[in-house]
Structure 1
């Protein structure tokens, strides 16, 4: 055994003081693949820690930086998620708005279609009811009383006055197959030489579909001034001794309610008849021939 001398010790101390301190070397174990077998080998890959710091400080800093990256990535991705949520809410709102608009359009289309169909149906009913005009036929007239006598009008002028009491009968037939009619009439005027000597008012009535009735109207006049036209009518008995030509005129008005008050066609028929008063046929119903009357 060799004993170091003082000079050697001194030289060793000097050399150790002059040399720089060595850094600690760390080795990292990494797997290696050899063929089918997997073995673990140690590669001499030193990881030098400056200032002699332990290796765990490097790993902790790496974890810290990794966590910061993750947090930054999370922060960076969060606004995008918020944007996606906002866009999705906007899409949902647009869908709801579109649905509400489509419902309104459907409702308006339904109302418009219903109105058009109802109008078309009403026009069809109106057109179908137009040819179904009521039928009027004057049957007879009966003179119960006629008297001509001298008198004066309201102003005191002396003239012949005539009094008439008669009855007019006619048939009214509703030819409508699916509606009834409300019937009215203008006054029935019986005139002589353009002077109305008798008037009658018909009572309003309702005629159901496909039915008819016989209507009787009293036509009367009391002390109607004739002025110069009554000279040929006067007689000693007060009744005209010769036939007297008269004229009967009135208008029948019919209104049908086909579809309530929405479809209500109206029918007008003017009637004019030539009537002859025969003194021999007093209180007798005189039938009127078809060519005696006109219906417009």
Structure 2
């Protein structure tokens, strides 16, 4: 009885399976994974019908067994006929790592090349500045021996006059009028540069009292050239306030007047070499002693040995 019921159950199950419409199998979800060599051998062994143990399929339905067998055969055949696929999949992460390493190497090479280029640029600029500075110092040192030659040749008093008058505030005092000219020799001995020449006012002093003033116009002196400068030194209605005792009461006897005066001025010479980058300067402070004599009006006073030249 028990055998009959078991056979009936098997027939019923077989009839039910045969009568039921076949269902479309659900497609399993796969993900790519690099199998090891042990997994490949296991799958190959399990896919062969002779290598699979019989007891593994006792409790499986024929449908399940067929699906498993087909899946195993597909996997084994795919691995057997296309072993390079697994190798390509295994190489993908390594290829990405290699690409990243290559990019890092390229970036390192680019960064190293940029640093080398910046180093060369800095060295070039520094070398240029040093060489240009040295060259400028050489030119400046070479220009120092070529100091301009300045000499006061002489002076002529054309006339002077003393008369009573009043200053700007209305204070009565003696007023001095003086007319004279100064001759100055200037020479530029330089062989490779010219100079721009300016001067402070040319002044005549009786001690601290200024009695006459003259001006030298600015000029340019080319290399290896010279000139004679003639400057008028004038004094017009200069109040004396009794500052020159020798002139007090000398209105009627000017021919016998003798007054010591000092002629002072400063000459500035500046050269421009390489544009305005190298600018050597030459200063000459000049002080001359001259005597105003009433009986030598209009005559030349030689000042060649009466002047002091200071740098």
Greater shift, 159-168 or 61-70, is seen at: 61-70
Q: What is the CA–CA distance in structure 1 between the aligned matches of 2:161 and 2:223, rounded to whole Å?
A: 42
Of 266, 274, 289, 1:251 maps to 266
**Are residue 239 (structure 1) and residue 254 (structure 2) matched?**
yes
1:272: which partner in 2? 287
Candidates 164, 167, 173, aligned match of 1:150: 164
Greater fraction of residues in strand = 1
Matches within 5 A, 1:35-54: 50=50
1:127 and 2:136 aligned: no
Q: Describe how 1:108-257 pairs up with structure 2 within 5 A.
A: 108-233=122-247, 234-237=249-252, 239-257=254-272
Which residue does the alignment assign to 1:7? none
Taking the aligned partners of 2:116 and 2:148, their CA distance within structure 1 comes to 50
Alpha-carbon distance, 1:206 to partner:
0.4
One of 97, 100, 117 as aligned partner of 1:86? 100
Tell me if the contact between 1:140 and 1:287 (Cα under 8 Å) persists in the aligned partners: yes
Q: CA deviation at 1:238?
A: 6.3
**Contact 1:147–1:240, Cα closer than 8 Å, also in 2:** no
Structure 2 contact 163–251 (Cα < 8 Å) conserved: no
Say whether the 8 Å CA contact 1:149–1:238 is kept in structure 2: no
Number of residue pairs aligned between Structure 1 and Structure 2:
243
Please, which runs of 5 or more residues in structure 1 have no aligned partner? 1-48, 52-58
Provide, for residues 109-168 of structure 1, a one-character-per-residue CA deviation record: whole Å limited to 9, x for no partner: 211211121112112222222232212100010111111122222233322211100000
TM-score relative to the length of structure 2? 0.71
Structure 1: how far apart are the matches of 2:118 and 2:228? 57
List gaps (5 residues or longer) in structure 2.
Answer: 1-48, 52-72
Residue deviations 1:1-55 (CA, integer Å, cap 9, x gap): xxxxxxxxxxxxxxxxxxxxxxxxxxxxxxxxxxxxxxxxxxxxxxxx849xxxx
**Residue 240 of structure 1, CA deviation:** 4.6
- Matched position secondary structure for 2:117: helix
The reply on whether 1:282 has 2:297 as its aligned counterpart is yes
* Matches of 1:236 and 1:60, distance apart in 2: 144
1:160·1:231 contact (CA, 8 Å) conserved in 2? no
* Higher helix proportion (structure 1 or 2): 2
Q: TM-score, normalised by structure 1?
A: 0.74
The separation in 2 between residues aligned to 1:60 and 1:218, in whole angstroms, is 123
Deviation at 1:62, TM superposition (A): 6.7
CA distance in 1, matches of 2:159, 2:215: 18
Aligned position for 1:26: none
Q: Looking at CA atoms only, which structure, 1 or 2, has the larger radius of gyration?
A: 1
SS at 1:202 equivalent: coil
**Residue 185 of structure 1, CA deviation:** 0.5
